[in-house]
């Protein structure tokens, strides 16, 4: 009499610190019998890696095909949807589908979305994380995602613009307070009210109505801060170094005093 076992395989993929990895956990009647993590480097998306994990799962499951019905649990629902779709739009999904069909020729295969709290799925995810954190050294090739190209092109454009900005001889104060090209900060400035843009640009460029600039132009008798009388009244002083403004500075910038380096920190994305 043939004993019918439950052969399950949990598949997961993840992106950690810009690196991707896949994790596979094969179990028979609930007991893990085979585990594997694979690093895929920074080129593919987590979605692509998920397809690769499925393809590899099917290859590995061939040897279990005589043992009983096979169920494959996939962590990412989007991957499952792509595999279930009548029209395959993704090259890597096609590879996975062909491999699934091949496996299904010898054994019934059930493909489903895994429960993220299932300990075996948790294990597959942990393996995927291990894969993502493992240095990627093989020369395995796979299609490069559009997202990867976009990221690389944006990073190169940013690098070149920053180089051009930093090599300028003018705009000293603006370069001090805004040392790198920062699209997000620029977009916030662009979306500000017109009156605020005037004040902010004055702050960044030094072309403002503070006493230091006024003194240089002969418009004020002293460059000293009118609030604390301790230092020259200029953008850097007003933004992070005036004791009389330590309250608002703490409220809006998180610290009572900020030096130039702290004011240069890139604006966090929300």
By CB under 5 A, tell whether 228 contacts Zn ion.
Answer: yes
Q: Which residues touch 167 (CB under 8 Å, ≥6 apart)?
A: none
Rounded Cα–Cα distance for residues 47 and 42 (Å): 13
Rounded Cα–Cα distance for residues 247 and 266 (Å): 22
Rounded Cα–Cα distance for residues 180 and 157 (Å): 12
- Closest contact distance (angstroms) between CB of 234 and Zn ion is 10
The stretch among 7-15, 108-116, 143-151, 228-236 that binds Zn ion (CB under 5 A) is 228-236
- Closest contact distance (angstroms) between CB of 243 and Zn ion is 7
- Closest contact distance (angstroms) between CB of 251 and Zn ion is 17
By CB under 5 A, tell whether 227 contacts Zn ion.
Answer: yes
Instruction: Indicate the residue among 106 and 262 with the shorter CB distance to Zn ion.
Output: 262
- Closest contact distance (angstroms) between CB of 221 and Zn ion is 17
3-state secondary structure of 214: helix
By CB under 5 A, tell whether 258 contacts Zn ion.
Answer: no
Instruction: Indicate the residue among 149 and 250 with the shorter CB distance to Zn ion.
Output: 250
Integer angstrom CA distances of residue 42 from 39, 66, 177, 230: 9, 37, 32, 51
Instruction: Indicate the residue among 43 and 241 with the shorter CB distance to Zn ion.
Output: 241
**194-226 burial code (b ≥16 CB/10 A, e <16):** eeeeeeeeebbbbebebbbbbbeeeebeebbbe
The stretch among 24-32, 108-116, 204-212, 237-245 that binds Zn ion (CB under 5 A) is 237-245
- Closest contact distance (angstroms) between CB of 121 and Zn ion is 58
Instruction: Indicate the residue among 77 and 226 with the shorter CB distance to Zn ion.
Output: 226
- Closest contact distance (angstroms) between CB of 189 and Zn ion is 24
List 71's β-bridge partners, or say none. Answer: 8, 110
Integer angstrom CA distances of residue 160 from 18, 156, 163, 186, 251: 22, 6, 5, 17, 35
Rounded Cα–Cα distance for residues 99 and 250 (Å): 59
Instruction: Indicate the residue among 61 and 242 with the shorter CB distance to Zn ion.
Output: 242
By CB under 5 A, tell whether 247 contacts Zn ion.
Answer: no
The size of the interface with Zn ion (CB under 5 A), counted in residues, is 4
Instruction: Indicate the residue among 16 and 228 with the shorter CB distance to Zn ion.
Output: 228
By CB under 5 A, tell whether 242 contacts Zn ion.
Answer: yes
Interface residue with Zn ion among 225, 234, 239, 258 (CB under 5 A) is 225
> Could you tell me which of 60, 105, 97, 72 has the C-alpha nearest to residue 6?
72
- Closest contact distance (angstroms) between CB of 233 and Zn ion is 6
Q: Which residues bind Zn ion (CB under 5 A)?
A: 225, 227-228, 242
């Amino acid at each position: 009499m043939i004993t019918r076992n439950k052969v399950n395989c949990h598949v997961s993929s993840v992106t950690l610190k810009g690196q991707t990895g896949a994790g596979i956990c094969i179990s028979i009647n609930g007991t893990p019998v085979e585990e594997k993590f694979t690093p895929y480097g920074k080129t593919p998306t987590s979605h692509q890696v998920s397809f690769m994990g499925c393809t590899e799962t099917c290859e590995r499951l061939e040897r279990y095909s005589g043992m009983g019905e096979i169920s494959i649990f996939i962590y990412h629902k989007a991957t499952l949807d792509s595999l279930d779709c009548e029209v395959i739009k993704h090259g890597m999904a096609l590879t996975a589908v062909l491999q699934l069909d091949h496996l299904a020729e010898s054994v019934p295969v059930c493909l489903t979305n895994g429960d993220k709290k299932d300990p075996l799925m948790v294990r597959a995810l942990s393996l995927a994380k291990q894969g993502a954190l493992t240095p990627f050294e093989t020369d395995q090739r796979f299609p490069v995602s559009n997202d990867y190209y976009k990221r690389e092109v944006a990073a190169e454009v940013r690098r070149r613009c920053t180089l051009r900005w930093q090599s300028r001889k003018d705009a000293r104060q603006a370069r001090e307070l805004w040392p790198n090209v920062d699209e997000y900060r620029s977009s916030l400035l662009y979306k500000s009210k017109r009156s605020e843009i005037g004040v902010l640009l004055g702050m960044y460029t030094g072309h403002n109505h503070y006493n230091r600039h006024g003194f240089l132009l002969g418009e004020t008798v002293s460059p000293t801060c009118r609030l604390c009388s301790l230092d020259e009244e200029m953008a850097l002083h007003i933004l992070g170094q005036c004791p009389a403004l330590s309250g608002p500075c703490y409220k809006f910038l998180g610290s009572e005093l900020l030096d130039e380096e702290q004011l240069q920190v890139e604006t966090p994305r929300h």
